[in-house]
Chains A and B, each alone.
Chain A
Amino acid sequence: QKEVEQDPGPLSVPEGAIVSLNCTYSNSAFQYFMWYRQYSRKGPELLMYTYSSGNKEDGRFTAQVDKSSKYISLFIRDSQPSDSATYLCAINSGGSNYKLTFGKGTLLTVNP
């Protein structure tokens, strides 16, 4: 079992839809949870960063962490064609740990 599992999709939605992206992880030592967005032929860029269980909101984006279930989610409201990209969850165990463990990424297309 991989440390981080993410459904690679692809996921195709109409403009304005609510998008839900998810990852599960196996290591309970993981403490820091990130979502990166990667446009085609670009490097990943950090979207959201959370530490504790619960929700964190930033504009149209909401990151949700459930440590008891080892489950993290990213919700995108009112999705736009410009949101079309690959979304990667990334996790690390914090402290002196610097290694990010990434999911496979989910390819999202928002159709106008």
Chain B
Amino acid sequence: GAGVSQTPSNKVTEKGKYVELRCDPISGHTALYWYRQSLGQGPEFLIYFQGTGAADDSGLPNDRFFAVRPEGSVSTLKIQRTERGDSAVYLCASSTGPQETQYFGPGTRLLVL
């Protein structure tokens, strides 16, 4: 079956712009996670959704970052007033539940110029 998909695969933007990154989880997976992977680092947790609600957003670095999952399926990560330090690969993962195996998408490579 289809895995986790993310769009766009690459995004180049200018400092100060707004960006949206989309994640389509595996069908039927109720849990969805966003991670950020900087160059040469492992993924770092950003936010976890169970259904439509953000159960834990403690990993979001500041209030420029926001994520939604309005219908409990697709999620969008939104970054306002982008900064060069936001450049990274943003990974989405989904699972059947919070204690189950997380399946990752290919990521969106964000470059802020």
Tell me, in angstroms, the Cα distance from A8 to B109 when the chains sit together: 21
Q: Are A103 and B42 in contact (CB under 8 A)?
A: yes
Query: Which one of A43, A94, A99, A101 lies within 8 Å of B48 (CB-CB)?
Result: A99
Q: Are A45 and B104 in contact (CB under 8 A)?
A: yes
Contacts of A104 in B (CB 8 A): 40-42
Q: Does B98 contact A (CB under 8 A)?
A: yes
Known A-B contacts A8-B40, A43-B91, A44-B91; the reply to A100 vs B45 at CB < 8 A is yes
Q: Are B42 and A6 in contact (CB under 8 A)?
A: yes
Q: Are B106 and A94 in contact (CB under 8 A)?
A: no
Query: Which one of A36, A43, A101, A103 lies within 8 Å of B106 (CB-CB)?
Result: A43
Tell me the count of chain A residues lying within 8 A, CB to CB, of chain B: 25
Contacts of A97 in B (CB 8 A): 98
- Residues from 9 to 29 in B contacting A, C-beta threshold 8 Å: none
Contacts of B42 in A (CB 8 A): 4, 6, 88, 90, 102-105
B2 to chain A: closest CB distance in Å?
A: 14
Tell me the count of chain B residues lying within 8 A, CB to CB, of chain A: 26
Contact with A along B82-103 (1 / 0, CB 8 A): 0000000001010100110111
Contacts of A41 in B (CB 8 A): 106, 109
B22 to chain A: closest CB distance in Å?
A: 15
A103 to chain B: closest CB distance in Å?
A: 5
Tell me, in angstroms, the Cα distance from A33 to B48 when the chains sit together: 19
Q: Are A98 and B105 in contact (CB under 8 A)?
A: no
Tell me, in angstroms, the Cα distance from A6 to B106 when the chains sit together: 22
A27 to chain B: closest CB distance in Å?
A: 14
Query: Which one of B44, B56, B101 lies within 8 Å of A102 (CB-CB)?
Result: B44
Contact with A along B25-41 (1 / 0, CB 8 A): 00000010101000011
18 pairs, A vs B, C-beta closer than 8 Å: A6-B42, A42-B106, A43-B4, A44-B91, A44-B104, A46-B101, A88-B42, A96-B98, A96-B99, A98-B31, A98-B33, A98-B48, A98-B99, A99-B48, A100-B43, A101-B45, A102-B44, A104-B42
